[in-house]
Amino acid sequence: MVKLNKKERGKMTIISLFAGAGGMDLGFLKAGHKIVWVNDNDFDSCKTYERNFKHKPICEDIEKINSKDIPDADIVIGGFPCQGFSVANPYRKIEDKRNRLYLELLRIIKDKKPKYFIAENVTGLCSIGGYENKEDKKNHLGKVLKVIIQELRNATPLGYHVEFKILNSADYGVPQMRRRVIILGTRKDIIPILKHPEPTHSRDGKYGLPKWKNVRDALDGIPENLTDKIPNHIGTNHKVKINGHLGNRATAWDKASPTIVGRGGGTGGPVIIPHPNLKRRMSVRETARIQVFPDDFIFEGAVTSQYRQIGNAVPWLLAYHIAKMIPKN
């Protein structure tokens, strides 16, 4: 077994795949780790990333990048593209080509053999393909997820301990009900095994924990009138129509926000939730606040692209708590 030495304690080198605007990366950096290589193929996301971080992403299709051109690192992280898996997409299919990009994550893990890996995806991943039995359904272990986990376990000759769990970002100080599948892998010659973090908040303040953050907490200090004096405090002209459908439900000041999404059904644009005043939809900056991006984190591209980047991001605060679980001795 390999125990992490003092030099490795507290700081790990990171390969970041499907990084998008960099929400997950920001959490790992704030936890004290170092990004040594980052990739995404979306031009606007790459511009946003380059503006906000000291290291430049490789803005290219990961399928075209040879593993030899990627440096070795302690950890591979990646929120592999989820549009085909998302429950917000009623057209999802197991054959969706976007669902196959996890194979690129698998390839990099096989080739670089990191000590750990962390993969993130939407809860729709759990049920796609259906369940083989009642026990699998109880454990949210659908056919596709089962295959992914098995392949990750066998990614190297030594193999990986692999655990998955559905985490709600609201349980970690994010003012948003955002449930995501977090898959953790620990190479079998490494001890101890990486575990999921315990919640830091609870819905009703139970277990001695603070209550969930709410929309009022998130939007504190932002004027209701849109203004270019605040970075990205711009919005969409799409009218508010409360009808109970996705993106058209009333947003409450005193509750955690509904999930911020990057897309609607099919090939539609981003679904922007209404402002609690119900007079307009959330601005880009307000949506970024819900995703706990700091106000000096600037988004590039057209307004729809900015919304999409935010909706596809991992809240850095959730990533931070995961990153803090990386063994330090």
> What are 92-118's pLDDT values in tens digits?
555 555 556 788 999 999 999 999 999
Higher pLDDT, 327 or 186: 186
Of 47-61, 110-124, 251-265, the range with the lowest mean pLDDT is 251-265
- In this prediction, what percent of the chain has a pLDDT beyond 90? 74
CA distances from 84 to 71, 96, 174, 261, 298 (A): 29, 6, 25, 13, 27
Tell me the average pLDDT across 245-251.
88
- Pairing relation of β-strands 160-168 and 58-59? unpaired
Q: What's the CATH code, domain 2-202+314-323?
A: 3.40.50.150
Q: What is the pLDDT of residue 9?
A: 52
Helix or strand (DSSP H, E) at 40: strand 34-40
Q: What is the pLDDT of residue 223?
A: 94
Name the residue type at position 44: D
Domain boundaries, the chain: 2-202+314-323
* pLDDT tens digits, 141-199: 998 889 889 999 999 999 999 999 999 999 999 999 999 999 999 999 998 899 999 99
Which one from 46, 59, 82, 126 is the annotated catalytic residue? 82
Tell me the two tokens of residue 159. Answer: 């193999």
Kindly tell me the number of DSSP H helices and DSSP E strands found in the chain: 10, 9
Res 228 pLDDT > 50: yes
The overall longest dimension of the chain from CA atoms, in Å, is 59
Res 1 pLDDT > 50: no
Tell me the average pLDDT across 73-78.
97
Tell me the average pLDDT across 62-84.
88
Q: What is the pLDDT of residue 248?
A: 87
Confidence bin at 128 (pLDDT 50/70/90):
confident
For all residues of the chain together, what is the average pLDDT? 89
CB-CB neighbours of 96 under 10 Å: 16
Residue 126 among the catalytic residues: no
Res 90 pLDDT > 60: no
Cα separation, 126 vs 140, whole angstroms? 5
